[in-house]
A and B are shown apart, each in its own frame.
Chain A
């Protein structure tokens, strides 16, 4: 009996203590979570923040994992091997298609993008988008035999007909490198469209077509245009720049074997239309562009969407050797569209120009040429056909897997696991959510659509709000924003939880909001996992050029060139201190437009700012210079009117050199000074 009391009394005491403590603890926990998430309904758990948002340390190593993330691929001439670019694995994976496993792993550069094989199949060329070079791999020894310097951000690749030259689409520097393979050096640099990525040589080898992702610079309200750059292979000159209207994100292009058509993937955004509904394609539509390769040939756009179903983020296209069918990967909805090319030819042939113009917005037109939709694993990107055209291989980017599809049966017949981590971490789930359109109404677009590569799409949108013509806003990058709240152009959302919570679903996605688990995953990805590429173009190793040093001095100056002290609030470093070059405060920099509902705007961070035109909250400044030459006259956005043009150039050169924190040795002393004022 005594033993019983000895047990029961402490338990009772603990119970009473617990009941006293529970309420205040629960209240504290509720307040704490409300504060941290800036919402009032997030479940009061600990793991969301204290586990999954860890970026460094032991906990981070435990909760996170490494993945290959297959991006593009090529098939050997005999069909026996696949060469898979592992974007996050920084490797080329060689896959035996019969044994269905990885046989070799070749380490290449940083963030490889594309792979192309030499005509005889002895050599593979891999573009390393974050290294600004191309790895040359001997496919007999599986060793990197050479590294070829390119322009900024090499993406798509093409070989000249004679095999002597390699073309790279330099997505960051918006140009093309022509590399002499006999010397390994760049022979020419050709200007391309904005953010070129896809590249293909045509059927007779005379021309190379390069597709761009971002639109050409234009003020809000103008018709957006995206360039297809056409290069003569023989002369290595740009022979035509064709503007594709009302489209962008032209990721890839393919030619029919007969050479009569070039077909590219594209997205048709509705950024000039107020964001008031998603129904009926009022935010984004997705499709293909077709260029008739004949004199006076037309350029046509056809949607792959349907009235109540959208196929977001079309990425790659492959055409069967017999020219009858095309396959398009839709990264946003995990599927492949199968297209009847003959039906497209017929449609174009029998339609007037006016009808074709209407078809570019017609959500029902796909029923005339789409044969089937084949589901795939997460985020299908590059696709490639076997030499006989009977098998389609799909790089399932966020599945670490290659999907295998029978082009005769039009169904998946297998998959090849690449051996990456089999564990799907919370952040990886978040990345899948960001890349999947399942959380917008009828799958019309994903976060990726406006934030490709978790960056920004360069477009300015009419976000509506009180009235429809109001709040013209520039898409912001999602890279490395974990430490730079608040969010939204007017800084109204203190956390990512709030930014992507209920308001997001009410005004943008217009469908069911993310569950708390999904929100946690998305937040984990955004807060921990999205770095900027290294700024190899303007600041490859931290050593600044003379112009950049001069620009830095201007950026950090306390007095103007007339000797007057610049008020602290108007110094660059006050609002833009290192390491993120934002003080995370709201500011009025004299850019308020009549259509703005807010006076103060969130101070953006400036890391890799060179890659984010247009500028200012409504994108009115097409270049960094224009921030001051056109829109800085009131001196509210820094003191600049005493600068000469060369000095302004220096300032801009410095701004272009700004790069991610992880590439910098330590935080600047200037930051401490700016906070102490």
Chain B
């Protein structure tokens, strides 16, 4: 155990991450800038008393991304004890400020959060043939044991938040075959049902993690068109995240970095009014869309990542269908030729697809004929990333490939089509593909010996 100052952090205090220099360009691949940055520190202060600011992580070389437990008594954070050491996940008891190390793993770890139940989630830099070099999400027990990887694609996942519905919301960016724009992806805590939650305009950059408010909004900061400045304070609706974007700070002219929603009419924002200033903490009224008073500033540090120390309602603890004795997952698509009403002419006029090709990161897993109704039904080896593109009768590519997918062991997944509107529910019909056994992917595998699970 590493002991910090012998004080405690009380309910109602605010904990912040402070960075010793200006953070300009978040690098999502290797986590420079505010992640893994030297000299970051976590401090706490009483609202209304900025002079009470106390550094909690003096004994660490660098520490960041604090998250508070649901009972308000503990804090998770990522830290380096000494320079050049790997970043690991730590937990601090806020009653006595004693810290304990949670993880001792290969690869830098960051962005931890508490799951309902006794597990944690965090990002870890992972290097292998499957994901190449990416931050994948992992979960573990609260003592660091039973480490499990839950994302398996060449996409990097950062800044994870646990939503009230129990799912994880994470900043996700494709790395292979080319860099994609960061988007918010939502998934269950076992890595199943990963899906697009929010995508900004092309070229937009997500800067902060997402924060869920008590009135059904998700707020975060985002910059436009690849330019870091200014950061916008953005609100979307949880109910309809893809089409509810509001720029809350458009009239303030302020560069936002992060946000902490305290109440529906009161946020704390990390922002700066001009380039020459440090990021400081201010009040913000999202109803009036106006910046309020300064809450905390430091001439030598940028104030980032504010979290409130308080007891709060636990998110729902979602059940898991993952079974590690099963080696595969199942995927059903209703119609690869489904054309969304809002499709552009390019897609709408594309030829009819009769086959799909399943692609891995470096290889093809095979070509599969689809059914007459455009449906296919696959049994895919679990925990491998794959993409799908559609082919015409001559094997020429019609569309795709789609985004990266993976299936967890025993996961069952369905989709409507290759050009589905993410807001569409499926047609109520029996797909021809499920009248036959699924096609095993990779296609060269003819049989998979695994436990047969009866879910119902």
- A residues within 8 Å of B by Cβ? 220-221, 223-224, 246, 268-277, 279-282, 285, 303, 305-309, 354-355, 358, 361-364, 367, 441-442, 462-469, 471, 488, 502-503, 505-507, 510-513, 597
- What is the 8 Å Cβ interface bit string for chain B, positions 336-372, against chain A (1 contact, 0 not)? 0000110000000000000000000000000000000
- Residues from chain A with Cβ under 8 Å of B425 in the complex: 268, 270, 280-282, 285, 303, 305, 361-363
A511 and B320 alpha carbons, distance in the complex (Å): 9
* B31 contacts chain A at the CB level, 8 A cutoff: no
Q: Which of B426, B431, B434, B454 contacts A361 (CB 8 A)?
A: B426
Contact status A276-B332, CB under 8 Å: yes
A502 and B318 alpha carbons, distance in the complex (Å): 11
- Residues from chain A with Cβ under 8 Å of B330 in the complex: 276, 467-468
Residue of A nearest to B163 (CB): A308
A545 and B254 alpha carbons, distance in the complex (Å): 84
What is the number of contacts between chain A and chain B, taking CB atoms within 8 Å?
153
A362 and B427 alpha carbons, distance in the complex (Å): 10
Residue of B nearest to A506 (CB): B319
* B199 contacts chain A at the CB level, 8 A cutoff: no
**16 cross-chain CB contacts under 8 A:** A268-B425, A270-B425, A272-B428, A277-B412, A279-B193, A307-B240, A308-B239, A308-B241, A358-B424, A364-B240, A466-B452, A468-B330, A468-B377, A503-B455, A506-B455, A511-B318
- Residues from chain A with Cβ under 8 Å of B144 in the complex: none
Contact status B456-A507, CB under 8 Å: yes
Q: How far is the CB of B247 from chain A (nearest CB, A)?
A: 18
Contact status A362-B455, CB under 8 Å: no
Q: How far is the CB of A327 from chain B (nearest CB, A)?
A: 19
Contact status B341-A354, CB under 8 Å: yes
A367 and B319 alpha carbons, distance in the complex (Å): 31
A441 and B315 alpha carbons, distance in the complex (Å): 12
Contact status A464-B166, CB under 8 Å: no
- Residues from chain A with Cβ under 8 Å of B427 in the complex: 246, 361
Contact status B428-A282, CB under 8 Å: no
A467 and B320 alpha carbons, distance in the complex (Å): 18
How many chain B residues touch the partner (CB < 8 A)? 47
* B423 contacts chain A at the CB level, 8 A cutoff: yes
Contact status B341-A511, CB under 8 Å: no
* B321 contacts chain A at the CB level, 8 A cutoff: yes
Q: Given contacts A220-B430, A462-B434, A466-B454, could you give 17 more A-B pairs where the C-beta distance is less than 8 Å?
A: A268-B428, A270-B428, A273-B429, A276-B414, A277-B193, A277-B413, A279-B193, A282-B426, A308-B239, A308-B241, A361-B425, A363-B425, A468-B332, A503-B456, A506-B455, A507-B321, A511-B316
- Residues from chain B with Cβ under 8 Å of A224 in the complex: 428
- Residues from chain B with Cβ under 8 Å of A307 in the complex: 239-242, 422-423
Residue of B nearest to A441 (CB): B165
Q: How far is the CB of B272 from chain A (nearest CB, A)?
A: 33
Closest 4 CB pairs of A and B: A281-B425, A469-B434, A276-B412, A364-B423
Q: Which of A269, A279, A506 contacts B321 (CB 8 A)?
A: A506
Contact status A362-B316, CB under 8 Å: no
Residue of A nearest to B195 (CB): A279
A511 and B116 alpha carbons, distance in the complex (Å): 12
* B438 contacts chain A at the CB level, 8 A cutoff: yes
Q: State whether A281 and B426 are in contact (beta carbons under 8 Å apart), knowing that A308-B238, A464-B412, A466-B452 are contacts in the complex.
A: yes
Q: Which of A221, A281, A355, A507 contacts B430 (CB 8 A)?
A: A221
Residue of A nearest to B379 (CB): A467
* B437 contacts chain A at the CB level, 8 A cutoff: yes
Contact status B426-A273, CB under 8 Å: yes
A307 and B236 alpha carbons, distance in the complex (Å): 13
- Residues from chain A with Cβ under 8 Å of B438 in the complex: 467-468
- Residues from chain B with Cβ under 8 Å of A511 in the complex: 165-166, 316, 318-319
Q: How far is the CB of A134 from chain B (nearest CB, A)?
A: 36
Residue of A nearest to B426 (CB): A273
Contact status B414-A274, CB under 8 Å: yes
* B421 contacts chain A at the CB level, 8 A cutoff: yes
- Residues from chain B with Cβ under 8 Å of A355 in the complex: 341
